[in-house]
Amino acid sequence: MNSANIDNTVVRPKGSVKAKLSRDDIIMRGGMIVIALYLVISLVFPLYSMFSKSFSTFQYDLSKFEVQVSDDAGQFSPEITNLQNLNEGLKVIPDEELSTGSGGRLGATIFFPDFSFRSPVMYRIRNVDGQGRFLVGSTLMTGTDWQEMDSNTFRRVQLRPVRSTGLSNFINYFSTPALFKSIQNSIFIAIISTIITVILAFWFAYALNRSCMRFKGFFRLIAMAPILVPSLLPGIALVYLFGAQGVIKGLLFGASIYGPIGIIIGSVFFTFPHAFLIISTALAISDARLYEAAISLKASPWKTFWTVTIPGARYGIISAAFVVFNLVITDFGLPKVIGGQFNVLAVDIYKQVIGQQNFEMGAVVSVVLIIPAILAFAIDRVVQSKQVALLTARSVPFNPKPSSRADFIFTIYCGLVGLFIIGMLGICQFAALIKFWPYDLSLSLNNYQFDKMDGGGWGAYYNSIKMALLTALIGTCVIFFGAYLVEKSSGFKTGRAIFQMFAMLPMAIPGMVLGLAYIFFFNNPENPLHIVYGTMAILVICTVTHFYTVSHLTAVTALKQMDSEFESVSASLKQPTFKLFSRVTVPVCLPAILDIAIYLFVNAMTTVSAVVFLYSPKTSLASIAVLNMDDAGDIAPAAAMGMMIFYTNIFARVIHLILSKGVLRRTQAWRSSN
């Protein structure tokens, strides 16, 4: 590999001579620009609209209203009073209280301290220009004509705010203790969940990589199961395990599962596979020579563990910690189901937008949520870039030796973790088959009559499959092609660097934030793209973008393994690059391509946060149905639908496995030639 790279520089000397762009180069750059443009439209523009929304404020502009007041006989004097001047004289409303939300209303009588609805005094009010708006009762007045009314009608006049720009949303946010507290809550549960998950996952990964215990393959499968369900499902499982009618609620000793305890247990469940995968990779690459040295230096196993094992895996552990932290702090489904009154940032966005229709405040919370997410992401990137240098060419792979006592303990430990995971899934399936928990425990399929409940019925389930298939198909094409262009085109350094940056960005953006940003960008009638709003297309675009980064990295890794000499050879044989792409690159990278497809499929089936703001009645999804059924109190059907997602994902995985095996035999035979 190394020598090939050196040869390559000989074949294609880099110098100050600027090569003329060939037709292939132009096509490749064109393709790269198209995909970069996709990322700009599906990510950068929406985020920009969201940021600008967070600075969009609503103010009562009192100078836009004029009033006239009559005497008791109903005779108006020609004097016109501007409300702003009136307020400056009376000081009934301080300036800072003039900022409000888009739904703000201000009763006009407040400016008339001696107002009485019984008085015979008549009032006239008008807008100074087209910008002013006020209500009489619930009728909106926007014109500049005088509206004359008696006192009893005047008390029904409500002033409406106008749009302006400023920081007042942020000031408002940080001065609302209920909202501010959520930052603390979010960070608290994220840290605790991270610590627990990383410790549990470390020992699990350690057992699977460094012991000779049995059933390793089985445990590996179990550990990956939580990835196949939406994060709402562990919340529902916890209701059945530890809720007021929970089967083992005694284990909580009277504490309530609705709150931080529930969020943390559920978070450990759904982040476990992510932490396990990363730490397992770190533990898999280790140098046996270090352990031999430790033995010959007569170091105790304890000391060896702390001086050899932990330092060797430290980047994996740190990386896992930040990934888990990020997953927990940006997750919306679990705290929604089991959080009770314990508010977290992601749920606040939902409440602000859905509950209070306060889109501006939703944007502000999104901006706040992005900060820890981006920080965790950035640290993770730095750490991962260091991981590579650990293994040298002279390393000897470590082979664990059997030890009956340790292997026994590890089997018990993995068994307990496995029981936790299977138990959580099992209780959901069990509850889904019960007729009326807890009063009628007979078995029934009533909970599968989704069409009789909220959330979109069986149609939502089929929509989900359609959406996941489209995401897997379109996403894999776009992402792999994009990765190919950026990895294999020559020159155009700045463009490639910018493209890389765009491709990494989605991972740092929480799903809720992305979904909200899409509303602001796509549901704007001036945007010609708003025709996709409310269609399946926007769900697919959003999901592809949301899961872009990991897929892109998978593709890049696979492409990096391919010698760039292929390109040189094909160029010297005067073959068009796209012939090379379809004849060599795609077949060689097929395992990676299939991995990307299954990753996109599974995530499209389980995602809630990104699409919860974007679905329409025709495009309701299974994961959204779980959320909505739980919301309506139909918890057992929600569990049933959640398990349908699980089985669908297992089915997809099996298909993936069969395809991969077939593909390996047909296209990867060359790998085993030596």
Partner 1 sequence: MKFNFGFFKSLAVGSLLATSVFADTELTVYTAVEAEDLSRYAAKFNESHPDIKINWVRDSTGIITAKLLAEKNNPQADVVWGLAGTSLLLLKSEGMLEPYAPAGVEKLDSKFVDGDNPPAWVGMDAWVAAVCYNTVEAGKAGLTPPTSWKDLTDAQYAGHLIMPNPNSSGTGFLDVSSWLQLFGEEGGWEYMDALHENIARYTHSGSKPCKLAAAGEIPIGISFAFRGAKSKAAGAPLDIIVPSEGVGWDMEATAIVAGTSKMEAAQKLVDFSVTKEANEMYNQGYAVVAYPGVAKPVEHFPEGLIEAMIPNDFEFAANNRARILKEWQSRYDGKSDPK
Instruction: Give the interface with partner 1 as residue ranges (CB under 8 A).
Output: 100-101, 103-105, 135, 137-140, 142, 156, 158, 176-179, 181-182, 185, 239, 243-245, 255-256, 258-260, 336, 340-343, 351, 353-357, 359, 436-440, 451-455, 519, 523-525, 530-531, 533-535, 537, 616-618, 628, 631-635
- State the minimum distance, in angstroms, from the CB of residue 505 to partner 1: 26
Q: Please provide residue 125's backbone torsions phi and psi, each rounded to the nearest 5 degrees.
A: -140, 145
- State the minimum distance, in angstroms, from the CB of residue 485 to partner 1: 28
- State the minimum distance, in angstroms, from the CB of residue 249 to partner 1: 11
- State the minimum distance, in angstroms, from the CB of residue 355 to partner 1: 4
Q: Which is nearer to partner 1, 126 or 274 (CB)?
A: 126
Q: What is the dihedral of CA 295, 300, 301, 304, to 10 degrees?
A: -70
Q: Which is nearer to partner 1, 219 or 520 (CB)?
A: 520
Query: Are residues 624 and 605 in contact, defined by beta-carbon separation less than 8 angstroms?
Result: no
Residue 630: burial class (beta carbons within 10 Å; 0-12, 13-18, 19+): buried
In the chain, the N- to C-terminal Cα span, in Å, equals: 14
Q: Where are the alpha helices (DSSP H) in 55-176?
A: 83-90, 151-154, 168-174
Q: Which is nearer to partner 1, 343 or 476 (CB)?
A: 343
Nearby residues of 427 by Cβ (< 8 Å), 6 or more positions away: 237, 240, 241, 247
- State the minimum distance, in angstroms, from the CB of residue 236 to partner 1: 12
Q: Which is nearer to partner 1, 258 or 377 (CB)?
A: 258
Whole-angstrom distance, CA of residue 193 vs CA of residue 190: 5
Nearby residues of 204 by Cβ (< 8 Å), 6 or more positions away: 219, 223, 272, 276, 413, 414, 417
Whole-angstrom distance, CA of residue 430 vs CA of residue 240: 10
Q: Which is nearer to partner 1, 27 or 247 (CB)?
A: 247
- State the minimum distance, in angstroms, from the CB of residue 347 to partner 1: 10
- State the minimum distance, in angstroms, from the CB of residue 583 to partner 1: 35
Whole-angstrom distance, CA of residue 253 vs CA of residue 79: 73
Strand order in the sheet with 81-82: 81-82, 65-69, 122-127, 147-150
- Looking at the DSSP bridge assignments, the partners of residue 59 are 99, 162
- State the minimum distance, in angstroms, from the CB of residue 327 to partner 1: 23
DSSP string over 320-370: HHHHHHHHHHH--HHHHHH-TT---HHHHHHIIIIIT--HHHHHHHHHHHH
- Give the H or E element holding residue 134: strand 133-136
- State the minimum distance, in angstroms, from the CB of residue 620 to partner 1: 9
Q: Which is nearer to partner 1, 135 or 375 (CB)?
A: 135
Residue 443: burial class (beta carbons within 10 Å; 0-12, 13-18, 19+): exposed
Q: Which is nearer to partner 1, 137 or 217 (CB)?
A: 137
- State the minimum distance, in angstroms, from the CB of residue 87 to partner 1: 19
- State the minimum distance, in angstroms, from the CB of residue 595 to partner 1: 32
Residue type, 64: K
Query: Are residues 421 and 222 in contact, defined by beta-carbon separation less than 8 angstroms?
Result: yes
Q: 79 by DSSP, 3-state: which?
A: coil
Q: Which is nearer to partner 1, 321 or 434 (CB)?
A: 434
Q: Which is nearer to partner 1, 219 or 342 (CB)?
A: 342
- State the minimum distance, in angstroms, from the CB of residue 10 to partner 1: 53
- State the minimum distance, in angstroms, from the CB of residue 59 to partner 1: 15
Whole-angstrom distance, CA of residue 548 vs CA of residue 544: 6
Q: Which is nearer to partner 1, 205 or 239 (CB)?
A: 239
> Interhelix angle for 590-606 vs 622-631, to 10°?
20
Tokens of residue 118, six digits: 């019984």
Q: Which is nearer to partner 1, 79 or 526 (CB)?
A: 526
CB atoms within 10 A of CB 136: 16
Sign of CA dihedral 417, 422, 427, 432: positive
Q: Which is nearer to partner 1, 31 or 104 (CB)?
A: 104
Tokens of residue 658, six digits: 């069969």
- State the minimum distance, in angstroms, from the CB of residue 257 to partner 1: 10
Nearby residues of 464 by Cβ (< 8 Å), 6 or more positions away: 604, 605, 621, 622, 623, 645, 648
| Cis amide bond preceding 311, omega within 30 | no
Query: Are residues 445 and 433 in contact, defined by beta-carbon separation less than 8 angstroms?
Result: yes
Q: Which is nearer to partner 1, 63 or 527 (CB)?
A: 527
Query: Are residues 621 and 464 in contact, defined by beta-carbon separation less than 8 angstroms?
Result: yes
- State the minimum distance, in angstroms, from the CB of residue 489 to partner 1: 33
Q: Which is nearer to partner 1, 159 or 324 (CB)?
A: 159
Q: Which is nearer to partner 1, 165 or 357 (CB)?
A: 357
